[in-house]
Amino acid sequence: MYSEKHFWFVLLLSLFAINQICCLVEFTNFKCTSFDKDVVDFEYCILKSINRTSKYVSAKIKVFKFPVKSIKVNIGLHQLANGYRPFLYNITFDGCKFIKNQKSNPVAKYFYEFIKDISNANHSCPYNHDFILEKLSSDMINSRLPKILPFPAGNYMFEAHWTANELYRALTKLYIYVS
If pLDDT is split at 50, 70 and 90, which confidence band does 107 have? low
If pLDDT is split at 50, 70 and 90, which confidence band does 59 have? very high
Q: State the pLDDT at residue 164.
A: 87
Q: State the pLDDT at residue 88.
A: 79
Q: Where are the domains of the chain?
A: 23-178
Q: Which amino acid is at 35?
A: F
Tens digits of residue pLDDT in 125-141: 777 788 888 888 888 77
The whole-model pTM stands at 0.77
Instruction: Give the count of beta carbons closer than 10 Å to the beta carbon of residue 92.
Output: 13
CA-CA distance, 162 to 72, in Å (whole number)?
6
Pick the CATH number of 23-178 from 2.70.220.10, 3.40.720.10, 1.10.630.10, 2.70.170.10: 2.70.220.10
On whether the CB atoms of residues 43 and 61 are closer than 8 A, the answer is yes
If you average pLDDT over every residue of the chain, what do you get? 78
On whether the CB atoms of residues 100 and 114 are closer than 8 A, the answer is no
Sheet order of strands, 55-63 included: 40-49, 55-63, 131-137
User: In this prediction, what percent of the chain has a pLDDT beyond 90?
Assistant: 34
Q: State the pLDDT at residue 5.
A: 52
Q: Average pLDDT in the 118-123 region?
A: 53
Higher model confidence: residue 133 or residue 1?
133
If pLDDT is split at 50, 70 and 90, which confidence band does 89 have? confident
The three-state secondary structure class of 11 is helix
